[in-house]
Structure 1
Amino acid sequence: MNWLISLLFLLLCFTAHGQENWLGQFARQVEQEARRHNLPGYGFAVVELGQSPQIFTYGKTQKNGQPINADTLFRLASVSKTFTGALTAKLVQQGKLDWDMPLDQLAPQYEFDPQQELKLGHILSQSSGYMPNAYDNLIEANYSVQRVLNQLAGLEPICEPGQCYTYQNALFGVLSEGIRYRLDSNYAELLQDNILSPLAMHRVSVGRDRLVSDSNWARPHALVARGQWYKTQVRADYYRFAPAAGINASLNDMVIWLEAMLEQYPHVLSGHTIEQLLTPRIRTKRELYRRHWRAYLKDAHYGLGWRVYDFDGEKLAYHSGWVKGYRADVGIAPDYGVGLVFLMNAESNLMNEISVNFWARLFEEKKMATSMASQP
């Protein structure tokens, strides 16, 4: 919060002298904080309909590596779920899947209890009823997808499906297994055919091998001590559950993704599809108590692959991602046609503060502009 106060003071000073707009000053402040925390690198992009996207980068892919640029690949981690929500919605529209399809029909090779009435829509809305993050420990212990899902199929729920919010990663493996069984395809192929190629998102890829074989990718970094980061290995664990956390992307690609979610490519993602994704499905009460966010969140839900927030009276669709060595954040304010993506090759909690401060300032700017426009 001290950072926000300092930022607002500087913004007032710069605005008074007409030297720099609020976004430029915000970017400078982010870079100052990155230097103070000795972050390896990051990149972020802001999309506002009717204006050119603005991209800001800092640092290097690794020590003595190349500077991060708009084409550098990062892991999206759980931001992958936003793509999975959109892909699933399109497959439903094509009649290939159904939101009400029971899991024992979607992936009959796993013995999900039909009496639980667990359905495809419960996966994407994080309302399965299983204990939160069920068997993430098995993912991280490198158990096979099949073994994890067999364990999951025998798990007793803590509530009825659709009745409580229980965030999952392993359960998304049912979707990729179901795609293979029912559609004789795989997640990466369907994502390419239905989302990536139509949107010309040429740098997006699925899987560890596609990341580490690229000539321009950001290496992961973990914190060893205050302000001291070390390069770590890219783990394959969550990549094996690709619909949950298996996508890599660049800033340039994510600009297109933000534009698509702001209804700029209706031939790929229609307004109806986006409305489906961003309709609140299950309340996520714990989000209201997150550090930094709690000062602004009035209500919080999960849609289909997206979180849906009431951010101090404004609608914000959002998702974050975190795997070893990487952080990612993406958000859109549909009512204002604005989107933000932030990608970092370090596990820094500074990400939360950056995102909150951006949206707080953005909504303040928009309200001020509306107020000034209404004055005689």
Structure 2
Amino acid sequence: MRFLRTLAVCLVATLPLPAAFAQTIDYKRLDARISRLSAEEEIVGLAVAVIDKGEISFANGYGVTERGGSPVTNETVFRWASLSKGVAATEVAILADRHQLSLTDTISAFKTSLRLPGGGETRATLEDVLSHRLGIVPNAYDTRLEDGWDAARIRRSLAKLKPLCPVGDCHTYQNVAYDAVSEIVEDVTHAPYADAVRHSVFEPLGMVTASIGRAGLQASPSWARPHSKRSRAPGPPQEKTVNDDYYRVPAAGGVNGSILDLARYARAQMGLAPDVLSDAALTMLQTPRVYTSGEQRRMSSRYRGTVRDARYGLGWRIYKYGINGDRVVGHRGAVEGYRSFILFDPDRDTGVVVLWNSSSRRPNGIGFEVMDMLYNLPPQDWMEIDPPPTGG
């Protein structure tokens, strides 16, 4: 299987693409539009990379790490926020591929603090955790985490919640519950979660800036400080202090890294690092498990039908993109003062990753403008930088 994929990639690289499959990303236009966006008051710094037919063809920094600070480069480290969930799922898929665990193992088979209503931990599987199908209220007790509670204590308290649906029946996005994955990885590998991920994912993929935890972020030679503001507040976003809230759930929100490392990670998710992520592991990660109606409503409202059929795999979202319904895989992330975005077409080995250190939503539009170029769709102002049309 790996040999056939490698052969196919080589053939695509040496033969002209048919017109229906041609892909043209206008990097000059892309750079110009990102430069315009980065000059907006609500943007502090951002970094963007494009993987084009398997190669990292564009990796630039824009803006600054903090007001009056140094320029963002493609080596500047940002928080990845909820893109960390895909990293955790990747670690689990690697362990499953090595037969060190199974996705059908129940949570109670491991040493974990997760407790669910009605003893649901004896029925919920690892697959249910990674696809957010635990049957409890979305983002259960995130506020307690932000108030300083210990994550394991919160997970034990989830047993007192009223279930929304039977385990496995519905999608309700989680952070604290999802981080049971870090306990499971530690139980299986007998190593700290950060060490296990570094040995299985970061180092084999050559991710030289990637780390887990606040210390790793702040020890980086170049790192972006968090900035945020209330959505309607006047003036630029204000610098914030990096806190440990979501670092205390590392499988849900603990990863840091540069845009180059995020691009290297994205290539692996396209199947371009088979020694690290096998076809079997990628199938585990990217097979849709559950339809996500809330995500579909959000995407339809903001991107007007460009993205359809939103589903969730293991730590990854899967959509149909554009008029032809091409399959794309991605995720977004947000913690105070940071945002992140990844979206790619694994069949074309092409995608885009974005990191920024403010609370603006507009850099998400970079990803959609790149994908529109990939599919030769009419340009849209997804970054919201063009003046509104005048007249009737």
Paired residue for 1:148, among 144, 154, 163? 154
Are 1:293 and 2:293 matched, yes or no? no
Amino acid in the other structure paired with 1:277: L
| SS in structure 1 at match of 2:342 | strand
User: After superposition, where does 1:18-97 map in structure 2 within 5 Å?
Assistant: 22-49=26-53, 51-97=55-101
Q: Which residue of 2 aligns with 1:3?
A: none
Measured after TM superposition, the shift of residue 263 of structure 1 is 1.4
Are 1:192 and 2:204 matched, yes or no? no
Q: Distance in 2 between matches of 1:67 and 1:247?
A: 22
Measured after TM superposition, the shift of residue 157 of structure 1 is 1.9
| SS in structure 2 at match of 1:45 | strand
| SS in structure 2 at match of 1:30 | helix
User: After superposition, where does 1:118-157 map in structure 2 within 5 Å?
Assistant: 118-157=124-163
| SS in structure 1 at match of 2:249 | helix
Maintained 8 Å contact 1:292/1:356:
no
Residue 201 and residue 160 in structure 1: after superposition, are their counterparts in 2 closer, same or farther (change >3 A)? same
Paired residue for 1:331, among 343, 346, 350? 343
User: After superposition, where does 1:94-113 map in structure 2 within 5 Å?
Assistant: 94-107=98-111, 111-112=115-116, 113=119
Q: Distance in 2 between matches of 1:170 and 1:322?
A: 15
Q: Distance in 2 between matches of 1:151 and 1:125?
A: 21
Q: Which residue of 1 aligns with 2:385?
A: none
Q: Which residue of 1 aligns with 2:170?
A: 164
User: After superposition, where does 1:238-253 map in structure 2 within 5 Å?
Assistant: 238-253=246-261
Residue 51 and residue 192 in structure 1: after superposition, are their counterparts in 2 closer, same or farther (change >3 A)? closer
Maintained 8 Å contact 2:81/2:254:
yes
Measured after TM superposition, the shift of residue 57 of structure 1 is 1.5
Q: How many residues align?
A: 347
Q: Distance in 2 between matches of 1:215 and 1:183?
A: 30
Q: Which residue of 2 aligns with 1:269?
A: 277
Q: Which residue of 1 aligns with 2:370?
A: 358
Q: Distance in 1 between matches of 2:50 and 2:368?
A: 14
Amino acid in the other structure paired with 2:352: L
1:342-364 CA distance string (max 9 Å, x none): 00011101133333333223212
| SS in structure 2 at match of 1:53 | strand
Q: Which residue of 1 aligns with 2:219?
A: 213
Measured after TM superposition, the shift of residue 247 of structure 1 is 0.2
Amino acid in the other structure paired with 2:321: F
Q: Distance in 2 between matches of 1:355 and 1:292?
A: 13
Residue 154 and residue 180 in structure 1: after superposition, are their counterparts in 2 closer, same or farther (change >3 A)? farther
1:186-244 CA distance string (max 9 Å, x none): 21111011111111111100001111122210000012534511110111000010000
Maintained 8 Å contact 1:37/1:227:
yes
- Worse-matched range after superposition: 67-76 or 102-111: 102-111
Question: Any gaps of 5 or more consecutive residues in structure 2?
Answer: 1-23, 379-392
Maintained 8 Å contact 2:354/2:364:
no
* TM-score w.r.t. length of structure 1: 0.87
- Which has more helix, going by share of residues? 1
User: After superposition, where does 1:286-325 map in structure 2 within 5 Å?
Assistant: 286-290=294-298, 291-312=301-322, 313-325=325-337
1:110-153 CA distance string (max 9 Å, x none): 54415761111111111111111111111111100221111123
Amino acid in the other structure paired with 1:278: Q
Q: Distance in 2 between matches of 1:280 and 1:52?
A: 27
Amino acid in the other structure paired with 2:345: A
Measured after TM superposition, the shift of residue 334 of structure 1 is 1.3
Q: Distance in 2 between matches of 1:38 and 1:173?
A: 31
Maintained 8 Å contact 1:75/1:247:
yes
- Worse-matched range after superposition: 238-247 or 271-280: 271-280
Residue 321 and residue 111 in structure 1: after superposition, are their counterparts in 2 closer, same or farther (change >3 A)? closer
Residue 200 and residue 299 in structure 1: after superposition, are their counterparts in 2 closer, same or farther (change >3 A)? same
Amino acid in the other structure paired with 2:176: A
Residue 279 and residue 343 in structure 1: after superposition, are their counterparts in 2 closer, same or farther (change >3 A)? same
Amino acid in the other structure paired with 2:80: L
Maintained 8 Å contact 1:124/1:305:
yes
* TM-score w.r.t. length of structure 2: 0.84
RMSD of equivalent CA atoms: 2.0
Q: Distance in 2 between matches of 1:78 and 1:215?
A: 23
Measured after TM superposition, the shift of residue 299 of structure 1 is 0.6
| SS in structure 1 at match of 2:177 | helix
Measured after TM superposition, the shift of residue 96 of structure 1 is 2.1
Question: Any gaps of 5 or more consecutive residues in structure 1?
Answer: 1-19, 367-376
Q: Distance in 2 between matches of 1:123 and 1:314?
A: 27
